[in-house]
Structure 1
Amino acid sequence: MPLPTSWKQVLLTFAVAATSFTGCVPVEGTGSGSTGGSSSSADLRYEDAVYAADVKSVQLYSRSYSVGDVLAPPVVSLEQSSPLILEFDRMSAPRARALVKLQHCDINWRPSQLQPLQFVQDYNEFFIMEVEPSAGTKVPYWHYRFQVPRVKLSGNYLLEVTEEGGNRLLSRRFVVFEEQVNVALRPVATPGAGDRNARQQLDFNVFYASYPLVNPAQEIKVVLRQNHRWDNAKYFNRPTYIQEAQRRLEYQLFEPEQTFFGLNEFRALDTRSERFSGIGVERRDNSTSPDRVYALTGKSRAQQVYSTQPDANGKFLFGSREYGNAPLNADYQQVTFQLFSPEPAPGPVYVFGGLSDWQLQELFKLTYDPEKQLYTGTALLKQGYYNYYFAVKGASGQADARYFEGSHFGTENVYDVLVYYRPPGTRADLIIGYSTITFNPQR
């Protein structure tokens, strides 16, 4: 259904659609635990965040050959042969048009000193024109879709969505890279004793044979990520060795803090069917509005041996097996997560993964019942396939998934490297190299 020609028609259409959902409960909560919108630039967080309580199910992914892969990370080449697609839902009628702005950032996700005309093709405000109401769902919502415009420079970008008038809705990070240098990644065994069987290490080289780097030790910085996460990314300000004759920067990682815990394969939850219990579903109740889904009661895997199983490396996708069109036909459900634990964990426990933007959100915080020895929590989620961990909030405030999930060298994970370069006398960090590899690929 194309966008109506006027917002008066939009609101009228929504009002008519809402009358067919009598008996529906109000939708509460937000994807980030936020409770309202804001128009102040000081409130903008340079991370994946949701600011409005009615915004849910945000996805930013690359599209290839007219087919969208929602599991693909928001990473594109400067040519953008595979453009980025933003999709999200709003649980209330649109009050004004939504618009998108882009912000170029430095390697540390702080605003760069560039003016918009230096990194965007046109005026830096883009209206979202594809807006459609859900169809046949117990919980009504509006679905937004937007193709991110091409940019002029490589680097880190923050995408900000607001309503006309300034009410901020969401922000999302993405990266644009050039292929000016080559990067070679190599998985290696972690040296030393201790927890070497729990960690994964990669060494890598940056080859700059055809790129004019004058002082690569000072000009080049590198970020190494696990499963496209920013919360535990590793930053390297200097190479281990510089092989000038070969025009090669060598990164050999000797310290434990430079490696990653392999953790475990993710727990899976498949709620795409309204008739059958999918993977990770214990039972469901379709007599309520919205439907209720109860995930299988989880148990600690910290002391278990590693077991290979396919997963989506912490990501998620939406779907409806009965009705097909996920953006508009997939319904929202109250999903209850449960975790058996004979004693309380040493900190608050959360459901953690791509569904929580790799953050410890109040929406996904679990409550412990000492009599039942059970952690429980409920969140409103769109029908789909989800990967998640149970994570404990550590003393530093960071997520620690090892307590309940364990950690293994043999876990399958995806790693990628971003090579940043700030040319002398300039004000922007460019990304001049990118490479990715699967650690322990499953065949």
Structure 2
Amino acid sequence: MRLLIFASLLLATACVPLGTPITSTNPAAPGQQKPPEYYADKTLRYQDYTYAPDVRSVQCYVASGQPNEVFRPPVVPLGQSPGILLEFDVLGEQSQRYTAKLIHCDVDWKPSVLTDMQFLNEINEFLITDFRVGTGTKVPYFHYRLRAPQVKISGNYLLVVQSSGSVPVVSRRLLVYENRVQASLQPGIVIGGQERFTLQQLDFAIGYASVDLVNPAVEVKVVLRQNFRWDNAKYNLRPTFVRDAERRLEYQFFGFENAFPGLSEYRFFDTRSVQAAGIGVLRVDPRATPVTAVLQPEVTRSLQAYNQYQDANGQRVFESREFGNGDVNADYADVTFQLKATQAAPGPVYVFGALTDWQLKDEFRLAYDEAQQLYTGHALLKQGYYNYDFAVAGARGAVPNEVYFEGTHNETENQYDLLVYYRPPGTRTDLLIGYQTVGFNSRQ
């Protein structure tokens, strides 16, 4: 079956902890069909995850109607309209019936004890009726859209799409916040030697003069993210200064607890046209089924000086230059990645970014040819503009090593956001009472 030839998303056999890379120790060769049991386990994971091999091109963002709205993370103030939009494709020539539901979660992304009616004003089952067929594409698919329902309280939510029999198909994390505290987030200065050239530090403080918090030094919990990623987010950060008189918590660390590798601007390629090779593309063959696109060979940037250019912080957007409307007119292409390396890396190498849900997936694992000194791999991707980088897998549960091939620089442009949680006495869940974003080396 053509669909399974290109299927590649791995389901682990147990619930995977937050930030755990999704890998396989025995991936199938390119073009090799995976055994049926590969997708047998449909255990729901409380993270961004895709559970079926024919589900592709998942996007979850704030539908604002503004240019590049797909780059806006699924984070909205309580009561905001318009809200969060989920879109995805399902490969095949037959439409499917899907429903969705919301799960309210605690700060650690475990389901809270709230009942549905405590955070929703409607029945917690939403039939997805907005879907359209791909038009004139070699790879047949249906495009589905769902607008997340309005909720009554702030916090973490997991939006789950299910097929018949309540089998999960897609899950995405959503954030709904209130600005009940004053969260200030700003770029800081790294106190160190070489680290001041490679790391980016974020200093932040929380003012709670307008709200009564009980034992805020312990009960207030914060999460710090880079480019809206969950895989390398900072947790369990405790205030370094508690100023009771000013009703203020300050977080100023000296051991890099609040610092991230700046990395480099993301690599990119453009497959929005199938008639000509876009930027980053070596050659394209529109006659093949599916269309094939071979990317320019890349090289390591670990020892290179910082190179400034505009990127999308690891994101991607779908579009067709020939026909417009990437939702249903963009075709799928078999994209080949190439990375030159004089020797093999100390671990498996993967293409990494929003195109992989910030996870290490077998479809994006590269094979090393020692004779050619070249890593290669390919994946089925919808036409569009993509950001990505190369990551090396470490020990199970460790954050992927992007520095090995990408290098890291303090000058890199990145986006950071701060999440502030609190569980009021007598309540049964964590509320998201503060949210703030800041650009590091912003070009605007």
Partner residue, 1:15: none
What's the offset of the Cα at 1:323?
0.2
Partner residue, 2:423: 422
Aligned 1:58-69 pairs, distance under 5 A? 58-65=58-65, 69=69
Question: Does the CA-based 8 Å contact 2:273-2:322 persist in structure 1?
Answer: yes
What's the offset of the Cα at 1:37?
5.8
Measured in 1, the distance between the counterparts of 2:288 and 2:361 equals 26
Q: Deviations over 1:192-222 (max 9, x none)?
A: 1133311000101111111111221122111
Partner residue, 1:9: none
What's the offset of the Cα at 1:276?
2.1
Question: Does the CA-based 8 Å contact 1:39-1:166 persist in structure 2?
Answer: no
SS in 2 for 1:327: helix
What's the offset of the Cα at 1:76?
0.8
What's the offset of the Cα at 1:402?
0.4
The aligned amino acid for 1:284 is V
Runs of 4+ in 1 over 6 A off after TM superposition: none
Partner residue, 2:438: 437
Gaps of 5+ in 1: 1-23
Q: Deviations over 1:393-440 (max 9, x none)?
A: 023543101000000001000000000010112111100010000000
Measured in 1, the distance between the counterparts of 2:404 and 2:128 equals 42
Question: Does the CA-based 8 Å contact 1:269-1:386 persist in structure 2?
Answer: yes
Partner residue, 1:141: 141
What's the offset of the Cα at 1:67?
7.1
RMSD over aligned Cα atoms: 1.8
Aligned 1:272-291 pairs, distance under 5 A? 272-291=272-291
> Is residue 28 from structure 1 mapped to residue 29 from structure 2 by the alignment?
no
Compared CA separation, residues 256 and 39, structure 1 to 2 (3 A): closer
The aligned amino acid for 2:304 is Q
Measured in 2, the distance between the counterparts of 1:315 and 1:200 equals 20
Gaps of 5+ in 2: 12-35
Partner residue, 2:302: 302
Question: Does the CA-based 8 Å contact 2:274-2:285 persist in structure 1?
Answer: no
Question: Does the CA-based 8 Å contact 2:3-2:54 persist in structure 1?
Answer: no
Partner residue, 1:171: 171
Normalising to structure 1: TM-score of the pair?
0.91
Aligned 1:96-107 pairs, distance under 5 A? 96-107=96-107
Aligned 1:126-275 pairs, distance under 5 A? 126-275=126-275
Question: Does the CA-based 8 Å contact 2:336-2:379 persist in structure 1?
Answer: yes
Compared CA separation, residues 294 and 104, structure 1 to 2 (3 A): same
Question: Does the CA-based 8 Å contact 1:31-1:56 persist in structure 2?
Answer: no
Question: Does the CA-based 8 Å contact 1:416-1:434 persist in structure 2?
Answer: yes
The aligned amino acid for 1:33 is L
Bigger shift: residues 200-209 or 272-281: 272-281
Q: Deviations over 1:339-395 (max 9, x none)?
A: 000000000000000000000111100000000000000000000111001110023
Measured in 2, the distance between the counterparts of 1:39 and 1:99 equals 19
Question: Does the CA-based 8 Å contact 1:291-1:333 persist in structure 2?
Answer: yes
Compared CA separation, residues 151 and 63, structure 1 to 2 (3 A): same
How many equivalent pairs are there? Answer: 418
Partner residue, 1:370: 370
Measured in 2, the distance between the counterparts of 1:408 and 1:80 equals 37
SS in 1 for 2:355: helix
The aligned amino acid for 1:319 is E
What's the offset of the Cα at 1:63?
1.1
Measured in 1, the distance between the counterparts of 2:41 and 2:101 equals 13
Normalising to structure 2: TM-score of the pair?
0.91
Measured in 1, the distance between the counterparts of 2:82 and 2:424 equals 27
Measured in 1, the distance between the counterparts of 2:283 and 2:424 equals 57
SS in 2 for 1:333: strand
Measured in 2, the distance between the counterparts of 1:263 and 1:143 equals 34
SS in 2 for 1:117: helix
Partner residue, 1:360: 360
Question: Does the CA-based 8 Å contact 1:37-1:167 persist in structure 2?
Answer: no
What's the offset of the Cα at 1:71?
0.8
The aligned amino acid for 1:107 is V
Measured in 1, the distance between the counterparts of 2:142 and 2:176 equals 29
What's the offset of the Cα at 1:240?
1.1
- State the identity %: 51
Bigger shift: residues 290-299 or 165-174: 165-174
Question: Does the CA-based 8 Å contact 1:30-1:56 persist in structure 2?
Answer: no
What's the offset of the Cα at 1:93?
4.3
What's the offset of the Cα at 1:89?
0.4
Partner residue, 2:346: 346
Partner residue, 1:337: 337
> Is residue 54 from structure 1 mapped to residue 54 from structure 2 by the alignment?
yes
Compared CA separation, residues 95 and 165, structure 1 to 2 (3 A): farther
> Is residue 401 from structure 1 mapped to residue 378 from structure 2 by the alignment?
no
SS in 2 for 1:293: strand
Compared CA separation, residues 392 and 150, structure 1 to 2 (3 A): same
Compared CA separation, residues 165 and 95, structure 1 to 2 (3 A): farther
Compared CA separation, residues 260 and 66, structure 1 to 2 (3 A): closer
Measured in 2, the distance between the counterparts of 1:79 and 1:348 equals 44
Measured in 2, the distance between the counterparts of 1:245 and 1:38 equals 57
Bigger shift: residues 212-221 or 288-297: 212-221
SS in 2 for 1:256: coil
Q: Deviations over 1:29-59 (max 9, x none)?
A: 447334766686xx11111111111111000
SS in 2 for 1:234: coil
Measured in 2, the distance between the counterparts of 1:238 and 1:269 equals 40
Compared CA separation, residues 116 and 276, structure 1 to 2 (3 A): same
Measured in 2, the distance between the counterparts of 1:440 and 1:66 equals 23
Measured in 2, the distance between the counterparts of 1:349 and 1:426 equals 45
Question: Does the CA-based 8 Å contact 2:242-2:250 persist in structure 1?
Answer: yes
Measured in 2, the distance between the counterparts of 1:420 and 1:405 equals 33
